[in-house]
Structure 1
Amino acid sequence: MKFADLGLSDELLRAIIEAGYDTPTPIQAGAIPSVLMMRDMIGIAQTGTGKTASFVLPMIDILAHGRTRALMPRSLILEPTRELAAQVAENFEKYGKYHKLSMALLIGGVQMGDQVKALEKGVDVLIATPGRLMDLFERGKILLTGCNLLVIDEADRMLDMGFIPDIEHICTKLPANRQTLLFSATMPPPIKKLADKFLSNPKTIEVARPASRNENIEQFVVKTSERGKRDTLRALIEEEDVGTAIIFCNRKTTVRELAKSLQRYRYRAGEIHGDMDQSSRIAELDRFKNGDINILVASDVAARGLDVKGVSHVFNFDAPWHPDDYVHRIGRTGRAGAQGRAFTLVTPSDDEALDNIQKLTGYNIPVHGGTAKASPVADETEAPREPKSGRRGANRNKGRDDAPEAPRARAKAPPKPPKAAPRPPRDDESDDGWNGPLPDFLSVGFGS
């Protein structure tokens, strides 16, 4: 089957061919005719299978007829993250270049004034994150009564981020007689309930079992220790001769620290996480897409829907807390038929998380048999780093895997009693460490 067989307009087919595509993916072949027939639809497919184009392409032809009105968008696409919203906007620009359609992007982290000005002129397509849309709606800057087409993209991610109540509220403000499209990689019960409530006799298109294994991605587990994780990661990067890779961490603080550690070892690494403002996140993604950096250390803000061509490897520095996130993380590689490799670093405390991942995917991930091994202490002959001043900083750096500088010779000090191992932080605790002054009583040794 070709795109020309799906009933799309000549102008749209011309843009598709110029973009380098000829044959639709299974989700596109199944979804596009149904969307053009104005049916409600549920699309379930693995990440990286072309879900975005399966609704962008028919929407362009549907919206080619009609006129816009101020503050009343004709269609609405809801995305869980700013990056996904920006990516959908890029798709509309690429495929809609021969159609005179107006578009507005409502996302947080940027000035609201320019977004309001775009709405006042009237738009055919409004792409928004739920938070910013609700904000503008409550300020009376937007009306949804003229919106006849709603797309809820990455619905399972919306659930994880707590957006379902907002989506339900938004749906009540839209016309009852509308077309609704829901796309998701998985279909947990709350999403099924949402679909039953707001979709009318939808057609369900499922091109792969939810969370099933992507045959284009070779998956491996790498056993290591908490202290030796960074050594293991660097050994894997060298062993695999990585071209372009995304490294996922569970915490934003881990993202920052790991990116700085890789940079100290002369890797071209960048970072992206939720604490960065939107302009910084876009700039970092552009550097990654343009090849200025080839390793992107990221939190799960980058795990859904981001389509960067040529990502050869994904590394899970931390085993994800939610098994669904594993599917989306490794889906950043092996896209559009390409081959990819995914490695997950696991410590003894990750046994339960690994079991949940394997139960969800129905696949026993093999243990990597390469040469990468965890080492308890870093090789202190590796890349130099600037020493930190102060007794606390020196003690904290000693033995860390990102502090390879050899220790200076010192006069022998009286022996001190052994210290108890520090209690690891809980998930809800900060892992930044104590940076305040050292209390006087801690500097007094026993028997002195």
Structure 2
Amino acid sequence: MTRLSRTDHRSSRKRDRAAGSAGGSRTGSPRRSGGHTRRPAAVQGEFALPGTITPALPPAESFADLGMPRQLLAALVAEGVTVPFPIQGATLPNTLAGRDALGRGRTGSGKTLAFGLALLARTAGRRAEPLQPLALVLVPTRELAQQVTDALAPYARSLSLRLTTVVGGVSIGRQARALRSGAEVVVATPGRLKDLIDRGDCRLDQVAVTVLDEADQMADMGFLPQVTALLDQVRPGGQRMLFSATLDRNVDLLVRRYLNDPVVHSVDPSAGAVTTMEHHVLQVRGTDKHAATTEIAARDGRVIMFLDTKHAVDRLTRDLLGSGVRAAALHGGKSQPQRTRTLARFRTGHVTVLVATNVAARGIHVDDLDLVVNVDPPTDPKDYLHRGGRTARAGRSGSVVTLVTPNQRGGMLRLMSHAGISPRITEVRSGEAELHRITGAQTPSGTPVVITAPASERPERDTASRGRRNRPMRATRRTTRRRSTADAAA
């Protein structure tokens, strides 16, 4: 594996901050999240959706009605995707026809395939020259880049399209080689893509389809100047799509500058509650909060727990492991391979508690995750919505629990009101039946655990085979020596 040079690491950290917790500078008192400063919204408030000059095509009720390549239709069947989600049915008739689009749908509503199927179908049959991709998806975090790649990979393969992921924290040399070999579709975080362009390893002048996924978060993280600089390099007149779970005035510049007569689809209200999701505010005493958190973590089933800083995440993870809970930490201070392994272990159940900063608030999909806990209450309505969006995905049910002390209760209720949420409020204590009823909390074993690599991550070792391979080699050397002696005697 090619190692990143110190310069590569430094430049990617400076630009990418794809740790997902934050980036850029801000005015006023900084709020820490995941060890980085977070940029607040430049202008708070709901984004005024632009009008559409050209009428939109009617929604599609089935994928077969969309006129997509037969390979894509076959791949959808193979993946068990049979009926379009609302945002897919609303946007695809227009985006497949080449229209620019502005789409909003809650997290887990199927946005990735909504833009991905159109991007792949419109790129099908073309072949990229070295260093010149034909389609680009820009995302704010490494985790979201990986999720988009995983979601689109089977459909890209069905069309023989080469898909490359470009993110910080991993070998830039390997990514450069993939681009030199030719990649029709690139999924990228802004900082690493800029690094590759600056090195001469990528050009965007042949990109005909561009997608901005979670554009509002890119603006919040301070990526807007980089995003606009990248968009200025793509082919003029190409198709642009902007999708997000929330749209606010931060994206107004992008819409006005880069989208031409876009079709606008707002499937869900920006702050709308998911009907299959329960919201609880649990008031705990400050001295009892840690014990209540530990009991929730010891429940049967997986849970994501959000805290404000990476130091708090590491501290709680150590405490949970010491109490007998199989926990792992995820934050911007972890290397990308560490983060990838942690997420894989959580998805398979090898780890049952993911303790995380906002790095896990977007771009993390885990099947059948029914509980999210805000150990540290969020300070922004969008953070609340995106943290909670890790559960109750694709129509499934789930609960979001926020632990508050008495002095935090009022502020949290105001924040949730701004997010359009009406929670159930309950005073609880550790060990009480009500805490168990809401969260499944139970007393941990108290026996410390150590998380070791599962069998799937261990390299195969076949000692017996290695011994068998060595013995013939020794025999061959002895035979060779005997032959050499006989030859000398002759």
| 2:342 alignment partner in structure 1 | 284
Q: Distance in 2 between matches of 1:181 and 1:9?
A: 20
Match of 2:269 in 1: 209
Given the alignment, which residue of 61, 67, 77 partners 2:127?
67
Distance in 1 (CA, whole Å) between partners of 2:213 and 2:150 is: 15
Describe how 1:356-395 pairs up with structure 2 within 5 A: 356-368=414-426, 372=430, 383=446
Q: Tell me what 1:199 maps to.
A: 259
CA distance in 1, matches of 2:370, 2:278: 11
1:100-179 to 2 correspondence within 5 Å?
Answer: 100-179=160-239
Aligned positions of 1:267-416 closer than 5 A = 267-351=325-409, 353-368=411-426, 372=430, 383=446
Q: Which structure 1 residue ranges, 5 or more long, are not aligned?
A: 375-379, 387-448
CA distance in 2, matches of 1:297, 1:118: 33
Deviations 1:242-268 (A, max 9, x none): 411111111111111111111111111
Q: Matches of 2:445 and 2:63 in 1, distance apart?
A: 53
Partner of 2:50: none
2:70 partner letter: D
What is the CA distance between 1:26 and its match in structure 2? 0.5
Cα distance in 1 for partners of 2:330, 2:176 equals 27
Contact 1:314 1:343 in 2 (8 A): yes
Report matched runs for 1:399-438 at 5 Å. none
Structure 2 unmatched ranges of 5 or more: 1-60, 433-442, 450-490
For 1:259, give the aligned amino acid.
T
Name the counterpart of 1:4.
Answer: 64
Quick one: distance in 2 between partners of 1:153 and 1:11? 25
Match of 1:83 among 131, 140, 143: 143
Once residues 171 and 448 of structure 2 are traced to their aligned partners in structure 1, the CA distance between those partners, rounded to angstroms, is: 39
Secondary structure class of the residue paired with 1:56: helix
Amino acid at match of 2:336: Q
DSSP-derived class of the 2:305 partner: strand
Q: What is the CA–CA distance in structure 2 between the aligned matches of 1:367 and 1:236, rounded to whole Å?
A: 17
Find 2:99's aligned residue among 21, 31, 39: 39
* 1:176 partner SS: coil
* SS of structure 1 residue aligned to 2:312: helix
User: What SS does structure 2 have at the residue aligned with 1:77?
Assistant: strand
The question of 1:257 aligning with 2:257 is answered no
- Distance change in 2, residues 1:125/1:57 (3 Å): same
CA distance in 2, matches of 1:105, 1:158: 17
Determine if contact 1:71/1:120 at 8 Å carries over to the other structure.
Answer: yes
Counterpart CA distance in 2 for 1:171 and 1:181 is: 12
Deviation at 1:385, TM superposition (A): 7.2
CA–CA distance in structure 1, aligned partners of residues 93 and 430 of structure 2: 49
Measure, in 1, the Cα distance between the counterparts of 2:328 and 2:448.
18
The one-letter code matched in structure 2 to 1:18 is A
C-alpha separation between the residues in 2 aligned to 1:356 and 1:176?
44
CA deviation string 1:59-78 (max 9, x = no partner): 22111122211111101100
Q: 1:133 to 1:381 in 2, by over 3 A?
A: closer
**Given that residues 166 and 187 in structure 2 are in contact (C-alpha distance below 8 angstroms), is that contact kept between their aligned partners in structure 1?**
yes
Distance in 1 separating the partners of 2:285 and 2:444: 21
Tell me the TM-score normalised to structure 1 length. Answer: 0.81
Q: CA RMSD in A?
A: 2.0
Q: 1:279 to 1:237 in 2, by over 3 A?
A: closer
- The one-letter amino acid paired with 1:290 is T
Q: TM-score, normalised by structure 2?
A: 0.74
% same residue: 35
Matched residue SS, 1:220? strand
Deviation at 1:353, TM superposition (A): 4.1
Question: Aligned match of 1:183 in 239, 243, 247?
Answer: 243
